[in-house]
Amino acid sequence: MAKPTATHEAAGVQRDQAKPAHPRRRARTRRHLPRWSELRPLLRPRPPQLHPTQRRLSRALTIAELRTVAKRRAPRAVFDYTDGAAEAERSRDRSREVFGRVEFRPRVLRDVTEVDTTTTILGRPAALPLAFAPTGFTRMMHHEGERAVVRVAEQAGIPYALSTMGTTSIEEVAAAAPEARKWFQLYVWRDRDAGKDLVERAQAAGYEALILTVDVPVAGARLRDVRNGLTIPPSLTLRTFLDAAVRPWWWANLLTTDPLTFASLSNWEGTVADLINRMFDPSVTADDLAWLREIWSGPLLVKGIQHPEDARMVVDLGADAVVVSNHGGRQLDRTVTPLEALPAVLDAVGDRAEVLVDGGVLSGADVVAAVALGARACLVGRAYLYGLMAGGERGVQRATQILATEIVRTMQLLGADTIAGLKPEHVRLRT
Ligand SMILES: Cc1cc2nc3c(=O)[nH]c(=O)nc-3n(C[C@H](O)[C@H](O)[C@H](O)COP(=O)(O)O)c2cc1C
């Protein structure tokens, strides 16, 4: 054993000196009975939240917590349709994980009392660098469906994109929120005339922009849907019947509101994958984009871009914006993550078009990171759908409030008081 050295001994002395005093010599804490005058200022009863949905929602502090509420409220097949992705769901998971690798580099001693989150998207103002992504079958998540989402977009001052696979018609959505910035999302159908008809209806109903989604030549393999036997409309099997027993309100709403059908497609009964494979055209090429550019004079976004060369091609063909997206991981599994694909797309496009990004955005800090790295804005899909499942329109409001609060706080802590002040120097990705 090593001999104790002088240093060890000195340390021993210090240890002895640091010994606690004898218990009997320790100072006694004097106690008295609590007095009402001291207790009263501590009692600050909060007004009870009477509305049960509001109560449930206000307890959710993050989108992840809204997801937990959503899981309890929606039937399993519905939750899985929304939450799930293709095959092993790696595209979805990685797109989320990459935001976990974001490392913020705050700047200090900047006045961030007031933060201005406004920006422009497609040349028009938006209150946040955010838009609601097109999502099909929204009335299945909650009977208030697309109307609820577009109304919240209107209140929040951000764009809303209605999907071709929506369950509320182009005109009904327009009527629900006349002041909202509305975009219509199109898939190219085998029947080009039917697609053209939708474009004309969107134009007539005052939709501002068209989004062409280009990452669905065929349906992705969403295995949760296959395992759950999800069909459109939902079918009553023994399993869904048992599920109904614990979620009676969802079923009551389904059965007492407008039949759950696709508003822009002729009646369909079967699985979503069969529908996609039957109606959408896998032979779509750049010529179809050129055709669309001819029939639509407003702003045109192309969504589902992952390669810089594709970004350059669609901008050459007249796209005003590209959305770097892997469809929330619902199409090809194991794709590059949109956040990591973003820099090369930005380089390819330069200032010829705006670049938006989606996939895995579940917090305001994610939005701030993507914008700092050069995105004009983020689209969110599941973030608002979890809110919708958790509590209809109120739930979408809660999701938006959570994201907006997080955006403001993150900007303040980063030392940026405007969206333009968010720079790549604020963010790096850990390897
Ligand atoms: C339930 C669901 C349905 C979707 N339906 C469509 C659709 O009809 N058209 C489309 O272009 N994208 C659709 N998407 C993809 C979204 O527009 C968006 O790209 C994706 O949700 C972004 O990822 P996030 O959910 O992680 O935010 C859908 C996504 C979800 C979750």
Q: Examine the pLDDT at 38 and tell me if it is beyond 90.
A: no
Task: Give the per-residue pLDDT at 259.
Answer: 84
Task: Give the per-residue pLDDT at 11.
Answer: 44
pLDDT confidence tier of residue 189, bands split at 50, 70 and 90: confident
Mean local confidence (pLDDT), 94-105: 98
Q: Output phi, psi for 131, to 5 deg.
A: -145, 155
Q: Which one of 43-47, 49-53, 176-180 scores highest in mean pLDDT?
A: 176-180
Name the more confident of 185 and 253: 185
Task: Give the per-residue pLDDT at 232.
Answer: 73
Q: How far apart are CA 54 and CA 401, in angstroms?
A: 13
- Residue 246: strand, helix, or coil: helix
Tens of pLDDT along 262-307? 888 776 777 888 888 888 889 999 999 999 999 999 999 999 999 9
Tokens of 240: 């869904």
pLDDT confidence tier of residue 12, bands split at 50, 70 and 90: very low
Q: Which of 148-162, 223-237, 302-316 has the lowest mean pLDDT?
A: 223-237
Q: How far apart are CA 152 and CA 157, in angstroms?
A: 8
- The Å distance, Cα 213 to ligand 1 centre, comes to 10
The whole-chain average pLDDT of the chain stands at: 91
Task: Give the per-residue pLDDT at 116.
Answer: 98
Of 142, 143, 327, 426, which one is the catalytic site residue? 327
* Nearest of 240, 223, 216 to residue 78 by alpha carbon: 240
pLDDT confidence tier of residue 67, bands split at 50, 70 and 90: very high
Tens of pLDDT along 331-372? 999 999 999 999 999 999 999 999 999 999 999 999 999 999
Ligand 1 atom with least separation from CA of 358: 22
Mean local confidence (pLDDT), 59-85: 96
**Ligand 1 pocket member 325 (CB < 6 A):** yes
Q: Which percentage of the chain shows pLDDT scores above 70?
A: 93
**Ligand 1 pocket member 139 (CB < 6 A):** no
Q: How far apart are CA 129 and CA 374, in angstroms?
A: 11
**Ligand 1 pocket member 163 (CB < 6 A):** yes
Tens of pLDDT along 389-409? 999 999 999 999 999 999 999
- Residue 109: strand, helix, or coil: coil
pLDDT confidence tier of residue 23, bands split at 50, 70 and 90: low
Chain centroid to CA 298: how far? 25
Residues near 167 by beta carbon (within 8 Å), at least 6 away in sequence: 136, 137, 138, 139, 140, 145, 146, 260, 261, 262, 263
- Residue 3: strand, helix, or coil: coil
Q: How far apart are CA 82 and CA 60, in angstroms?
A: 19
Q: How far apart are CA 264 and CA 269, in angstroms?
A: 14
Mean local confidence (pLDDT), 215-232: 90
> Does the annotation mark 307 as catalytic?
no
Q: Examine the pLDDT at 1 and tell me if it is beyond 70.
A: no
How long a stretch of residues is the chain?
431
Name the more confident of 150 and 243: 150
Q: How far apart are CA 188 and CA 190, in angstroms?
A: 7
Q: Which of 117-121, 125-129, 194-198 has the lowest mean pLDDT?
A: 194-198
Mean local confidence (pLDDT), 30-50: 84
Residues near 93 by beta carbon (within 8 Å), at least 6 away in sequence: 85, 329
Are 113 and 130 contacting, i.e. CB atoms less than 8 angstroms apart? Answer: no
Q: How far apart are CA 180 and CA 160, in angstroms?
A: 7
What pTM did the predictor assign?
0.91
**Ligand 1 pocket member 327 (CB < 6 A):** yes
Q: Examine the pLDDT at 87 and tell me if it is beyond 80.
A: yes
Q: How far apart are CA 126 and CA 146, in angstroms?
A: 20
* Nearest of 330, 327, 194 to residue 273 by alpha carbon: 330
**Ligand 1 pocket member 133 (CB < 6 A):** yes
Chain centroid to CA 242: how far? 30
Mean local confidence (pLDDT), 226-238: 79
Q: Examine the pLDDT at 260 and tell me if it is beyond 90.
A: no
- The Å distance, Cα 229 to ligand 1 centre, comes to 20
Q: Examine the pLDDT at 156 and tell me if it is beyond 90.
A: yes
Mean local confidence (pLDDT), 135-141: 94
